[in-house]
Structure 1
Amino acid sequence: MREAVASAETVLLPGGLTVRVPAVPALALLKLLTWWERRTVTTRDAVDLATMISWYSTGSYLDLLYEEELDLLARHDYDPALAGAWRLGSQLPGLLDETGKHALLPIVEDDDVLGRLANDAGGARAPELMRAMGAGIRHAIGS
C-alpha cells in the first residue's frame, strides 16, 4: 500500500475537484499480491488484474508501444496485448524494495501458479498474457 500511495498521480475531475489515484502499475501490483493472498477464496483480484493488463494495449498505452517501444512489440510478434502485458509486468518490481521484489518471484517463477492466476482471470488469452506479465517481472528483477 505504501508503494501505491507513493506512486499516486493527481487527476482532475469534472467540477475542478482533484484526487490522487494510484498509478496503474501500483494497482496491478496490489491486485497481484492480493490475489496471491486470497487465491483460495476469490478470483476477483485476478479478474481485476486482467482488466488492468488489457489497459496496457489500448489508448495512450498503445500509442506509447508504437511510439517508444517498437523493439518490445517486435519481441512479441507485434502483438500489442502481449507487449503491453510484458511492459506492465516490467514496471511492477520498480515499485518495491529488494524484499518486495523477491516476494513476487514465487508467483511468477512457477508455471502452475501462473496457470492458476490465468484460470482465475478467465479469458481465452489469459494464459499467454499472464506469462508475458510474469516474464516482464522476471526481467526487471533480473532472474
Structure 2
Amino acid sequence: MTVISLKTPLPPGKQAVLTVMDRVARRTNLQYFVVGATARDILMYHLHGFPLNRASPDIDFAMAIESWPAFEALRTGLLGEPGFRLDGKIVHRLHYSPAAGDGFPVDLVPFGGVEVSPSQVAWPPDMAIVMNVAGYAEALDSAVTVRIADRCEIRVASIPGLVMTKLIAWLDRGQSNPKDAVDFRYLLENYATAGNADRLYGEELPLLAACDYAFERAGPRLLGMDIASIASARSRQQLAHILADPELHDRLVMHMLRGGVHSGEPVAAIESRLVEFRIGLLDWPGP
C-alpha cells in the first residue's frame, strides 16, 4: 500500500478531528474515508501545492455502515471525545469546538448496508430525508492513504472519486447550491498537473497526442477516463445524465462559471473541457 506524505501540514483543528475519527472508526471496526472540501484541500493544496479554491471549514466523512446501530455507535464514540457536540437540526452533523480557535461542522455520510434501495439512504426515524450516495462505494475502493501525523494514516477520496461524488451531490442539490460545480471546475482545470504529468508523457501519451499535446484538453479527458475506470454502471449513468440533459448541462456550466481564478473566462472554454471530460468518461472502452 502506497502512503502519501503531505508537503504542507494540516491546520491543527482539522488534524485533531481526523486523528480522532481514525481512532474511533478503528475502535468500532468501520471503514471510512474523507470526502468533500477537506479531501479537495488535502489533495490539491496540502499535497500538490495548488492555491486554495474555496474556503470551507467543514469536514465530511463517508463510511461503509452495515446498520443504523453501527452508525449510532460511531456517532456516540465521537460525542464521547472532547470538543464534539450534536447539531440541533441536522441529523448527520456534529460540531467540533477546539480548545482555542473557531469550531466547524463534521458531517457523517453513511452508505452500504443502510441503503433502503441501491444508492439511496433514508434517515431514521421517519425516513423523510433521503440522500443519494451513488459513487461512495467506488470512491472508498479507490481512496488514497495519506499520512497526516506520526502514526496516523487516513483514507482520502482520490481526485476521480471526489469528482464523481461531487457531481452526484450536485445532481441532488445543484439547483440551489453551486459549490460542487465550482469544485468540479477547479479539479477539471488542474487535473493534468495534479500528479499526472508523468502519466501523460508516459503510459497515457496516446491520449495526450489525441489532444494535440494540450494539457488543457488532456487533463479533463484523463479525469473522465479515470472516473470511468472506477465507477459502477449506476454512477456512470448518473454522470452521463448530467452531461446529456440540456437543462442540467446548462445549469452545470452556469454554476461552474461562478468560481475559479479565471473570472470572465468564456463559456466556450468550460464547454471545451466538458467535451473532453465526456469523451474520457463515456468513450472509455471498459474492462
Please report the TM-score for the alignment, with normalisation by the length of structure 2: 0.45
Residue 167 of structure 2: aligned partner: 32
Q: Residues of 1 paired with 2:278 and 2:254: CA distance? A: 15
Larger Rg, first or second structure (1 or 2): 2
Q: Is contact 1:115–1:127 with CA below 8 Å preserved after alignment?
A: no
Structure 2 regions of 5+ residues with no counterpart?
1-135
Residue 99 of structure 1: aligned partner: 234
Given candidates 13, 36, 43, the residue that maps to 2:178 is: 43
3-state DSSP class of the match of 1:126? Answer: helix
Q: Is contact 2:159–2:187 with CA below 8 Å preserved after alignment?
A: yes
Residue 271 of structure 2: aligned partner: 127
Pair 1:36–1:64, CA change in 2 (3 A):
same
Q: Which digits, 9 at most, give the CA deviation of each residue in 1:45-100, with x for residues without a partner? A: 01111111123121421222122222211211211121110111112233233233
2:280 matches 1:136 = yes
Q: Is contact 1:114–1:131 with CA below 8 Å preserved after alignment?
A: no
Given candidates 206, 209, 218, the residue that maps to 1:71 is: 206
Residue 86 of structure 2: aligned partner: none
- Counterpart amino acid of 1:134? R
Greater share of residues in strand? 2
RMSD: 2.1
Q: Residues of 2 paired with 1:113 and 1:74: CA distance? A: 31
Pair 1:114–1:78, CA change in 2 (3 A):
farther
2:221 matches 1:86 = yes
Q: Is contact 2:224–2:277 with CA below 8 Å preserved after alignment?
A: yes
Q: Residues of 2 paired with 1:141 and 1:35: CA distance? A: 26
Q: Residues of 2 paired with 1:18 and 1:29: CA distance? A: 23
Q: Is contact 2:145–2:156 with CA below 8 Å preserved after alignment?
A: yes
Q: Is contact 1:26–1:92 with CA below 8 Å preserved after alignment?
A: yes
Q: Is contact 1:55–1:61 with CA below 8 Å preserved after alignment?
A: no
Please report the TM-score for the alignment, with normalisation by the length of structure 1: 0.85
2:135 matches 1:8 = no
Q: Residues of 1 paired with 2:248 and 2:210: CA distance? A: 24
Greater share of residues in helix? 1
Greater mean deviation of Cα atoms: 71-80 or 132-141 = 132-141
Structure 1 regions of 5+ residues with no counterpart?
none
Q: Residues of 1 paired with 2:279 and 2:153: CA distance? A: 35
Please identify runs of 4+ aligned residues in structure 1 that moved more than 4 A: none
Pair 1:45–1:101, CA change in 2 (3 A):
same
3-state DSSP class of the match of 2:202? Answer: helix
